[in-house]
Amino acid sequence: MSLEKYLDVKPEIAEALAAGKPVVGLESTILSHGMPYPQNMEFAAKVEEIVRAAGAIPATTAIIGGKLKVGLTNDELMMMCNPKDIGKVSRRDVAVYLATGKTGATTVATTMMICAMAGIRVFATGGIGGVHRRGESTMDISADLQELANTPVCVVCAGAKSLLDLGRTLEYLETFGVPVLGYKTDEFPAFYCTTSGYKLDYRCESAEEIARIMYTKWDLGLKGGAVVGNPIPEEYALDYDEMDKVICAAIEEADEKGVRGKAITPFLLARIKDMTEGVSFASNLQLAYNNARLASEVAVELSKLG
């Protein structure tokens, strides 16, 4: 199968990958569906600046004009930050968007797919998707989890979004053999919060240690990726119990309004932002910056291992 007709890799990124230099994948859903304009433009510029400062090359992904984009021009970035008819694209949607020429923002699952196709092994995001609360009856489970089980990309995140069922999310990852590594923590981070009450089996003290684990996994031929739980910096962390009350209220409102499927996470994040008077949004920015920094360090260390 030739990917050339579908994959459009920015020259700077293609050259870096060919030379074995560190590259960090970045999603575009956070820009198109997670933040308002112009804060999303400022965020995009800041994240790329952080990645470069740490010695890696940023690669924001999207689907534009029938192509899987790896790295965006300024005009393309502006397009993704002014979302008019820009869909939220997961694995099931990719072929439809490519075949019809629609423009789409990439989720965690789709960004992992595109990174793997391009040869990028490390990806930074805010928080992964997972099993939604009441998922045992609704079967609302993010495609991110199956992608992690099958696609060889290391995902650095602040855990799973705290609006999810974190216990069942971790059980799902364990069932499908996905390593969950805590960066300088013994607990799975809960997005806005440093702790969740769920203990992890593996704690890593450095980016170099994470890189060695990932190198060993793939050198053995084991499929899939890994989750690196990187807690939000303490000074930006929110209280777990208080946030849980806010999240429960937002979920109840979503139920009343019949919000489901792809729309649920953007709806909940927006309502949580309003209900916390913007405090959660500020925390969201900081955890994403923190993840970009660590992902870049891991990519640098991984590149040293070949």
Alpha helices in 10-124 (DSSP H): 11-18, 29-32, 39-53, 74-81, 94-100, 108-118
Distance CA 302, CA 248 (A): 40
Contact 59, 118 (CB under 8 A): yes
* 214 CB-near residues (< 8 Å, 6+ apart): 121, 154, 226, 298, 302
Residue 30's nearest CA partner among 269, 278, 280 is 269
Contact 284, 266 (CB under 8 A): no
From 27, 48, 187, 301, active-site residue = 27
Helix/strand/coil for 132: strand
Does 27 participate in catalysis according to the annotation?
Answer: yes
Phi, psi of 76 (to 5 degrees): -70, -40
* DSSP classification of residue 140: -
What totals of helices (H) and strands (E) does the chain contain, helices first? 13, 11
Conformation bin of residue 70: beta by default, left when phi > 0, alpha when psi is -120 to 50: beta
From 10, 161, 217, 273, active-site residue = 161
Q: Which residues are catalytic?
A: 27, 161
